[in-house]
Amino acid sequence: MAGDGDRDVIEPERAPTLPATTPEEAPAGGKSADDILAAIFAPIPEASPLEQLEQTIRHPKKLIYIAMSNRNFYWRMQVSKLVLDEGYVPLNPFMLFDYYLLHTVPKQLVREAINNLLARCDEVWVFGTMSLGVKVQVGIAKRLKKPLRFYDITDLPEQVYRISEKLAQEEGRD
């Protein structure tokens, strides 16, 4: 400002001049603003089926078996979404077999299929209170030396908490 002697103010007529460039010409230092903006907002090409297959083969995701009581069956989609959001592939029996295929096949046949899936998974994650069936699944996972995680889902859909196995086995948590 004029009259303010303590500041070094460069008046516009004395400001250093920049090398003149046309809009099509990039400044001497590299890319132009238009180039940078074009790179930021360029559409990301979707991977071809072959590229998707290659990515899957090179970097397979862990399969996570979801163990949960049928009392919590209505949270099946939220729990599967949580596993997907963590970067894993969920195998949720309630999403595959509904509720014992609506009782159109013998329960034992569905249980055998479920246990087969559990054996093929990389990890077992337990959500909510452990019913007798979930306790059996945890026992199978332990015998197969599968890593286990336990989650409290009492605050779904807002929050899911990772908890200890001991806390998961307490009755009346849901």
State the pLDDT at residue 50: 85
**Which two three-digit tokens encode residue 44?**
């990301």
Residue 10 included in any domain: no
Report the number of distinct structural domains present in the chain. Answer: 1
Per DSSP, the three-state class of 27 is: coil
Residues 30 and 27: their CA atoms lie apart, in Å, by 6
Residue 146 included in any domain: yes
**Which two three-digit tokens encode residue 108?**
């034992």
Residues 163 and 168: their CA atoms lie apart, in Å, by 7
Among 5-9, 51-55, 71-75, 110-114, which stretch is predicted with the lowest mean pLDDT? 5-9
Which of the four pLDDT bands, split at 50, 70 and 90, describes residue 49? confident
Residue 101 included in any domain: yes
Range of the domain at 118: 61-168
Per DSSP, the three-state class of 30 is: coil
Residue 161 included in any domain: yes
Which of the four pLDDT bands, split at 50, 70 and 90, describes residue 21? low
> Can you tell me which residue has the tokens 């994650």?
125
Q: Is the pLDDT of residue 12 over 70?
A: no
91 DSSP β-pair partners: 65
Q: Is the pLDDT of residue 30 over 80?
A: no
Which of the four pLDDT bands, split at 50, 70 and 90, describes residue 20? low
Q: What is the CATH number of the domain that holds 107?
A: 3.40.50.450
State the pLDDT at residue 140: 96
Among 28-32, 106-110, 131-135, which stretch is predicted with the lowest mean pLDDT? 28-32
Residue 107 included in any domain: yes
Q: What is the mean pLDDT of the chain?
A: 82
